[in-house]
Amino acid sequence: MQALAELKEQIRQALPELDVVIGWQQGYDALHTSPLFIRSEEDLEKLVVNEFCVVNPASYLREMRGGKKVGLVLKGCDSRSVIQLVQEDLLKLEDLTIFGFGCNGVLNHAKLQARFGDIGYIKSIENSGASVTIEVDENKETVPFSELCADKCLTCSYPNTLQCTHFAGEESSKEAESEQDKALEEFEKLSMEERFSFWQDQMRRCIRCYACRNACPMCVCKDHCLANSRETKWLSEEVDVQNNFMFQLIHVMHLTGRCVECGECERACPMDIPIMLLRRKMAGVVRDVFAYNAGTNAEETPPLMCFKVEEPTIEERH
């Protein structure tokens, strides 16, 4: 891949000035990558860029505040979380060196699993860009990429890294297949009672491991999340539908107008709970009300962080 070679060269040149560059390396099998923390040229050789680079490197930024010079290899969606953090004054753009490239989408493990029974038994995988050929157990199949990629890739309008310091390879010309998320559209056809019972059923599965929270680049309260606070105690330690749902609703409310829909929360969930439905809904509301798309312009002030007597996008007087 041309972009990878260029990326490596750009990082190699920038590395002496940086404390660390966060990217991806091959994981324990063909379907997994894990985050790579590049501190030396030796580490740099491990860098990979492919359709399994799912972890958002920006999720590690909250640990790196305090003047560290950090480099990040970011997909378009990942770069939005960095911009949003800059907009919220939680990061300084000048402390960051962003290495961008054109993303063609990432594959979704939950979809692979649903299709192939269990991807833990994977034998091989090949991606041609348009389709993916996978061999699990005795079953070998070729499936269109769009059926196995993350939902966010189907509606993505930012395949190229935004506001990057360096850009490697050619720009991606990948376009959104649809404007609205299909799963959300289907969900909204349900009655309120049906929606409530859907979430009750989903929340029964939640194990409150907080992987959704910790994988989220925008969850910056870190160790002081109210889910764990003892004084005041907002949530019971009892793991039941009511408490699980309460946590998830607190989570989504804290992300409203901030969530860049990178999908890390849902990807991280070991119980495959479709919590992106909640995030997309709220992001859609913010788009409708404030004409605002989180994390796309570092100069902009997010709508819920400012007060205007008359919001230009809201018709207040009739």
Partner 1 sequence: MACKFISNENTNQWLEALAKDHVVFVPVDDGGTVTFRPFGEGRKLVLDRMPVRSAKEAVFPQSETLLTYKYDKDPENPERTSVRIRETLPKERAVVFGARPCGTRGMAVFDKVFDNDRIRDPYYATRREHTMFVTLACTKVESTCFCHEVGSGPADTSCSDVLLTPVQGGYAAEAVTECGEKMLEASFFADGGDKCAEAEAVKKATREMLGEAHDFSDAPEKLLAAFDDDEFWEEQAAGCLSCGACTYLCPTCYCFNITDEATGTTGKRVRSWDTCMSFQYTLEGSGHNPRSTKAKRLKNRVNHKFSYFPESYEKYIACCGCGRCIKSCPASVDIRAIVKAAQARGAEKESK
| Residue 118 makes contact with partner 1 by CB under 8 A | yes
Taking contact as CB under 8 A, which single stretch among the options 4-12, 30-38, 99-107, 176-184 is the one that binds partner 1? 30-38
Size of the site for partner 1 (CB under 8 A): 46
Residues 139-198 close enough to bind partner 1 by CB under 8 A: none
Q: What is the C-alpha radius of gyration for the chain, rounded to an integer number of angstroms?
A: 20
Own/partner long-range contacts of 234-243 (Cβ < 8 Å, ≥24 apart): 239/206, 239/207, 239/208, 241/200, 241/203, 241/204, 243/208
| Residue 18 makes contact with partner 1 by CB under 8 A | no
Q: Among residues 26 and 293, whose Cβ is nearest to partner 1? A: 26
Is-contact 79 55, C-beta < 8 A? no
| Identified binder of partner 1 from the candidate list 10, 21, 23, 59, rule CB under 8 A | 59
Torsion of CA 303, 309, 315, 316, to 10 degrees: 130
Q: What sign does the dihedral 239-242-245-249 (CA atoms) show? A: negative
Q: Among residues 39 and 308, whose Cβ is nearest to partner 1? A: 39
- How buried is 22 (Cβ within 10 angstroms: 0-12 exposed, 13-18 middle, 19+ buried)? buried
> How many Å apart are CA 283 and CA 274, to the nearest integer?
15
| Residue 231 makes contact with partner 1 by CB under 8 A | no
Taking contact as CB under 8 A, which single stretch among the options 22-30, 160-168, 171-179, 286-294 is the one that binds partner 1? 22-30
Least Cβ distance, residue 201 to partner 1 (angstroms): 7
| Residue 33 makes contact with partner 1 by CB under 8 A | yes
In the complex, the residues that contact partner 1 under the rule CB under 8 A are 27-29, 32-35, 37, 55, 59-60, 63, 110, 113-114, 117-118, 120-122, 137, 201-202, 205, 207, 209-211, 213-215, 222-223, 228, 236-240, 264, 267-268, 270-273
